[in-house]
């Protein structure tokens, strides 16, 4: 019996993943804050002058709220950066708090605003992201783990300490570890309270013939108060968000391109022409049976749980591309789709997989982060095609 168990364990897969996890840990987790700027710049990540820079506003906001200041107020406590500058004298001013209140509340719960505690927070953010990528790689295509983990896009999320990493894990780990639709709805809700955009994931659970209505309704009722609490502050935290072009992506990021800095109307014309081109491309390919039939066959072959993961990954990417100007680390939400599509053999999936792979690594090139942005425009139409036919099968045909 023991022999059969050992024989059934994919030793080669475990050794491969363990090897690259060990290398990753030695470089980016062990003594993580030692010479962090050079460490990340070696991997083409534009490191900030203070580690975990994106999460520093959580640390400071939680501290100032504990002193009686409002989360989004412009106050002297927040301007006083001594909890950071005592350790990093050259640090710049911390950007305004741009998360829902619950994020700072959770940090404040521990009542510890020290550098040591912040580093533990950063460590947890990093570890849960890498564990999630590891689990998904083990499940779908273990060979891709190092190409995802060491990519500049993933490392950007880690270096910044951005809680897109925690959000990603809260959203996707339950989807691969349990078949419970009740838990899926609960954890999608938790992810939504941290970052609002995962709310579109609920569309992936909607079908023509609703099942488990009672479970879904109870789960939604339980999580709805937290979602509403975060939504009520949306105007406050969205107006504090910064935007860019390099190391960013999204339909409206074109407005921030250097060429369009003094030609705003021209940028809108470019966006309109792009949308027209995308519509024509998607419409034309969708009517080409020789291209679409192999895609549909691949979609029909995967399990229901995998289809749900694929849909959620695709719908999040599509929606954030259309609505927001996103910093590059948000591209990690396409990783589950990337891993699933790696097993598809049709031409549309191959093109999408290839583009995602290139986008993950293009920052290594000179001006790479600008190419990262532009290639997302090339990727979006193909993602839309896969999403349309995946959702059509999920909504109408899946038993």
Give the single-character DSSP code of 98. -
Model pLDDT for residues 181-206, shown as the tens digit of each residue: 999 999 999 999 999 999 999 988 87
CB-based contact 140:340 (threshold 8 Å)? yes
Confidence band of 112 (pLDDT split at 50, 70, 90): very high
Mean pLDDT of 338-364: 97
Model pLDDT for residues 233-270, shown as the tens digit of each residue: 888 877 777 788 888 999 999 988 888 777 788 989 99
Instruction: Please classify residue 182 by burial: count the beta carbons closer than 10 Å to its beta carbon, then call 0-12 exposed, 13-18 middle and 19+ buried.
Output: middle
pTM of the model: 0.93
286-294 CB contacts, 8 Å cutoff, 24+ apart? 286/385, 286/388, 286/389, 291/346, 291/347, 291/348, 292/348, 292/389, 294/345, 294/346, 294/347, 294/348
Confidence band of 6 (pLDDT split at 50, 70, 90): very low
Model pLDDT for residues 20-48, shown as the tens digit of each residue: 999 999 999 988 888 888 889 999 999 88
Q: Name which of 89-103, 175-189, 259-273 the model is least confident about.
A: 89-103
CB atoms within 10 A of CB 1: 5
292-299 CB contacts, 8 Å cutoff, 24+ apart? 292/348, 292/389, 294/345, 294/346, 294/347, 294/348, 295/344, 295/346, 295/348, 295/349, 295/385, 295/386, 295/389, 296/389, 296/393, 297/346, 298/344, 298/345, 298/346, 298/349, 299/389, 299/390, 299/393
Residue 176: pLDDT above 50? yes
Mean pLDDT of 342-371: 96
């Amino acid at each position: 019996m023991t022999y059969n168990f050992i024989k059934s364990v994919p030793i080669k897969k475990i050794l491969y993943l363990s090897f690259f996890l060990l290398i990753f840990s030695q470089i980016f987790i062990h003594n993580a804050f030692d010479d962090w700027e050079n460490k990340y710049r070696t991997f083409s990540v534009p490191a900030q002058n203070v580690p975990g820079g994106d999460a520093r506003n959580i640390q400071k906001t939680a501290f100032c709220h504990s002193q009686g200041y409002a989360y989004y107020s412009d106050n002297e406590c927040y301007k006083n950066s001594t909890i950071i500058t005592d350790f990093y004298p050259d640090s710049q001013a911390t950007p305004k708090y741009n998360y829902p209140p619950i994020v700072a509340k959770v940090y404040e719960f521990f009542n510890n605003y020290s550098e040591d505690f912040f580093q533990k927070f950063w460590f947890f953010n990093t570890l849960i992201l890498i564990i999630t990528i590891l689990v998904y790689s083990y499940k779908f295509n273990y060979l891709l783990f190092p190409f995802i983990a060491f990519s500049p896009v993933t490392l950007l999320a880690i270096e910044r300490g951005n809680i897109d990493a925690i959000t990603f894990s809260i959203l996707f780990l339950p989807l691969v570890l349990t078949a419970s639709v009740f838990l899926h709805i609960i954890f999608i809700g938790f992810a939504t309270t941290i970052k609002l955009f995962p709310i579109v994931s609920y569309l992936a659970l909607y079908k023509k013939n609703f099942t488990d209505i009672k479970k879904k309704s109870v789960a939604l009722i339980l999580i709805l108060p937290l979602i509403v609490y975060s939504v009520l502050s949306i105007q406050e935290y969205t107006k504090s968000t910064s935007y860019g072009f390099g190391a960013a992506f999204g339909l409206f990021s074109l407005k921030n391109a250097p060429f369009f800095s003094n030609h705003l109307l021209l940028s809108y014309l470019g966006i309109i022409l792009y949308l027209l081109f995308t519509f024509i491309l998607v419409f034309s390919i969708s009517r080409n049976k020789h291209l679409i039939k192999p895609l549909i066959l691949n979609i029909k072959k995967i399990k229901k749980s995998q289809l749900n993961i694929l849909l959620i990954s695709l719908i999040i990417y599509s929606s954030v591309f259309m609505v927001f100007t996103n910093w590059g680390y948000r591209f990690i939400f396409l990783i589950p789709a990337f891993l699933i599509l790696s097993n598809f053999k049709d031409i549309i999936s191959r093109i999408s997989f290839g583009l995602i792979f290139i986008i993950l690594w293009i920052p290594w090139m000179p001006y790479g982060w600008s190419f990262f942005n532009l290639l997302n425009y090339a990727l979006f139409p193909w993602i839309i095609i896969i999403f349309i036919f995946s959702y059509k099968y999920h909504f109408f045909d899946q038993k």
